[in-house]
Copies of this chain bind each other. A is one copy, B any other.
């Protein structure tokens, strides 16, 4: 098992004929992802990596019904493409682009809610159920099956940590990138709930960062609902207050979202917080 996606998940790629879309379609296919179609307005009838391309999501859904879609669409057009996917019946939408306007993201989330759909991102590397299906842009080789569920706000840092796990032969069930924007579809809590219910996930790694209140909310939820061991790593210990560190979330304002506050909240919830990424491996091994 795994969460959100598996071997059977049928996937569309929106923006498949672009540079990123075509490259990552190849990577995903190589990983084993069940890509059944691509969408690029005006490019219907072509094929990319052997995948048929359609003009609209509705057309793709008629010809090649899918449950999930991943977007490689420039930020200004992402809202339209996302709403189209949701309107056409996509139930899991992965938004890769960064710089999607905040109000567009709110529009997408509001519409997804009315449609009962799950949105991953925006500004995410996607998600992968190791050994089964990858809907995202992460490097294939680090994601091998195993007992650890990983959920992260940032991308490369997550690869770093999964890389350590992989190097020590500890694989993952599912790895979910929440995305670095202020408004994203999935929060830690949503994913933790899924991991708790997934029998194959034996321990959970939470990769957070300063700014916002997602880690504090997660801590509260963990204390209340999560029985499985949770290990955390948080980035931003050294960040000076008031400076925006890349992600919209990674800014410390008004005394909220500080490193110390987050560590305190997580520790109180029984979560071990690693001081360095590499320590995660040892902490996980102690738990499983």
Contact = CB atoms under 8 A, between A and B. Distances in A.
A89 to B, nearest CB: 15
Interface string A24-68: 000000000000000000000000000000000000000000000
A153 B194 CA distance: 46
A114 interface: yes
A221 B119 CA distance: 35
2 contacts: A113-B114, A114-B114
A114 B114 CA distance: 5
Nearest to A111: B114
A135 B113 CA distance: 30
A114 B112 CA distance: 10
Nearest to A114: B114
Copies in the complex: 2
Nearest to A110: B114
Interface string A111-141: 0011000000000000000000000000000
A113 B113 CA distance: 11
Contacts of A113: 114
Nearest to A115: B114
Contacts of A114: 113-114
A144 to B, nearest CB: 41
A26 B114 CA distance: 37
Interface in A77-132: 113-114
Shortest beta-carbon contacts, A-B, top 2: A114-B114, A113-B114
A123 to B, nearest CB: 26
Nearest to A113: B114
Interface string A269-285: 00000000000000000
A113 B114 CA distance: 8
A30 to B, nearest CB: 39
A171 to B, nearest CB: 39
A59 B125 CA distance: 43
A220 B114 CA distance: 29
A113 B111 CA distance: 12
A228 B134 CA distance: 50
